[in-house]
Amino acid sequence: MANEPKQKRFGAHIRALREAQEISLRKFAERAQISPTYLSKVERDEFPPPGEEAVRRIADILGEDPDELLALAGKVASDLPGIIQQHPRAMATFLRAASGLPAAEIEKLARRAVGLRKKGPEK
Amino acid sequence: MANEPKQKRFGAHIRALREAQEISLRKFAERAQISPTYLSKVERDEFPPPGEEAVRRIADILGEDPDELLALAGKVASDLPGIIQQHPRAMATFLRAASGLPAAEIEKLARRAVGLRKKGPEK
DNA sequence: AAGACTGTTTAGTAGTTAGTATACACCTCC
DNA sequence: GGAGGTGTATACTAACTACTAAACAGTCTT
């Protein structure tokens, strides 16, 4: 028991969606601009998920939310680290506090943040 | 103009703090468990900042906030991606909305999140 | 039974990240 | 004038990430 992948669900997930849309592995690989060989392994979770750009192209083809699919790939969208780094302590505090909250509550806080944006700093 | 480092301030920053505490490069390297050679280059921003664990040890020695120093190193603490991935869409929405807000406002939202934690989901 | 599909096996690779060891030049103090 | 300190240049490296090309085996169509 040594050769197991970290992300067990990414490959199976995109394979199911691809098959539901009746796209062949080769056609899909072509549209996603990756090699069929690679895609085959990724879909069977024999290889870890591709890089961010490839995951975004896959999400686009499958009609999935990119942030959601990136999460399944064990990644976060590359713009988020930059945002966190603007106020690392405050953002880290927030994220740790919000960890475990249901999505609906986080969305409410997001709407609050949008509200603060409009009023406060106009930049 | 091709050999410039990404993070121009990390090295200079820690060198200044180290010199302020009058610790020699070698002693500091030993305490941070990295080689003096490597530290020398890092402090002159000739090499990119070290990995997260080394940055944390450096922050500890210098009495700096780890999240802040990690940000200066162009990284985010490794627990944060995992938190974002619990609710990737909601968290990404929040972060993009909170981008540009002053730290004080983000801290207020963090306190709100703490409040929600206590009442709502007890896990 | 040939041709055109399907997915898979085998065998690599280029680039990035995060470092190390050896050896050097300079300074001082005794 | 050598013993012990300062920082630095040179020269590698091991592990990991994100892939590719060539060839193969089964199925389906005509």
Is A54 within 7 A of strand D by CB distance? yes
Residue A24 sits in the same domain as residue A52: yes
Cβ distance B45 to B8 under 8 Å?
Answer: yes
Residue A67 sits in the same domain as residue A101: no
Residue B60 sits in the same domain as residue B88: no
Is A48 within 7 A of strand D by CB distance? yes
Nearest to A86 by CA among B72, B34, B65: B72
CA distances from B91 to A36, A105, B17, B50, B87 (A): 33, 10, 35, 28, 6
Best of A67, A78, A119, A122 to mutate (most B CBs within 10 Å, chain B): A67
Residue A95 sits in the same domain as residue A58: no
Measure the CA–CA gap between A56 and B74, rounded to whole angstroms. Answer: 23
Total tally of structural domains belonging to chain B: 2
**Residue B5 forms part of a structural domain:** no
In this prediction, residue A122 carries a pLDDT of 55
**pLDDT at position A123 over 70:** no
Measure the CA–CA gap between B89 and B92, rounded to whole angstroms. Answer: 5
Measure the CA–CA gap between B111 and A41, rounded to whole angstroms. Answer: 45
> What is the per-residue burial (b if ≥16 Cβ within 10 Å, else e) of A11-49?
bebbbebbeeeebeeeebbeebebeeeebbebbebeeeb
Residue A87 sits in the same domain as residue A64: no
Interface residues for strand C (CB within 7 Å) are A 24-27, 36-37, 40-41, 43-44, 46; B 33-35, 37-38, 47-54
Task: Tell me which of A72, A88, A103 is where a domain ends.
Answer: A72
Is A53 within 7 A of strand D by CB distance? yes
Best of B86, B108, B114, B117 to mutate (most A CBs within 10 Å, chain A): B86
Residue B59 sits in the same domain as residue B83: no
Residue A16 sits in the same domain as residue A68: yes
**Residue B64 forms part of a structural domain:** yes
Rounded to 5°, the CA angle B45-B51-B54 comes to 90
pLDDT band at B117 (very low <50, low <70, confident <90, very high): confident
Strand C nucleotides, any atom under 7 Å from protein beta carbons: they are: 5-11, 17-23
Residue B85 sits in the same domain as residue B108: yes
Residue A62 sits in the same domain as residue A17: yes
Measure the CA–CA gap between A31 and A20, rounded to whole angstroms. Answer: 16
For the stretch B77-112, pLDDT in tens is 999 999 999 999 999 999 999 999 999 999 999 999
For the stretch A16-63, pLDDT in tens is 999 999 999 999 999 999 999 999 999 999 999 999 999 999 999 999
Domain that holds residue B115: 79-119
Residue B54 sits in the same domain as residue B104: no
Residue A51 sits in the same domain as residue A91: no
Q: Domain with B26 in it: what CATH number?
A: 1.10.260.40
**Residue B1 forms part of a structural domain:** no
Nearest-nucleotide field for A38 (CA, C1'): D19
In this prediction, residue B118 carries a pLDDT of 76
**Residue B3 forms part of a structural domain:** no
**Residue A4 forms part of a structural domain:** no
Other Cβ atoms less than 10 A from the Cβ of B25: the count is 15
Residue A49 sits in the same domain as residue A103: no
In this prediction, residue A8 carries a pLDDT of 62
